[in-house]
Amino acid sequence: MEFRGLLGALIAFVLLLALQSYLVKYARSRATEKGTKRDVKFMDLIITSEDERYSLSRFQMYLWTVFVIIGFARYSWLPLRSLRSRKIYIPNNA
């Protein structure tokens, strides 16, 4: 397993976590401005507004988005090794 790939995945995960934390903080400040009594929690992105229940489809969409971004970041950091050594990096299919 490549260290650079894991580094890219870790950076993407930390950035997504920071974005989620920022969105929750922003939503909490907006809720207090409007005088809403409902407390905003960390995973409120997956709650439907109609009935205030967790939505499995929203949760799955959130997880797949996180996985795709982390996977993309992992594999986008791998070619950095070939730039330093001036060799073209071609992964094996086997």
Q: What is the pLDDT of residue 17?
A: 87
Chain segment 31-74, per-residue pLDDT in tens: 888 887 777 777 777 777 677 788 888 888 888 988 888 888 77
3-state helix, strand, coil in the chain (%, to 5): 65, 0, 30
Predicted pLDDT at 21: 87
In the block, tokens 């922003």 appear at 26
In whole angstroms, give the CA distance from residue 8 to residue 15.
Answer: 11
Dihedral angle sign, alpha carbons of residues 38, 43, 44, 48: negative
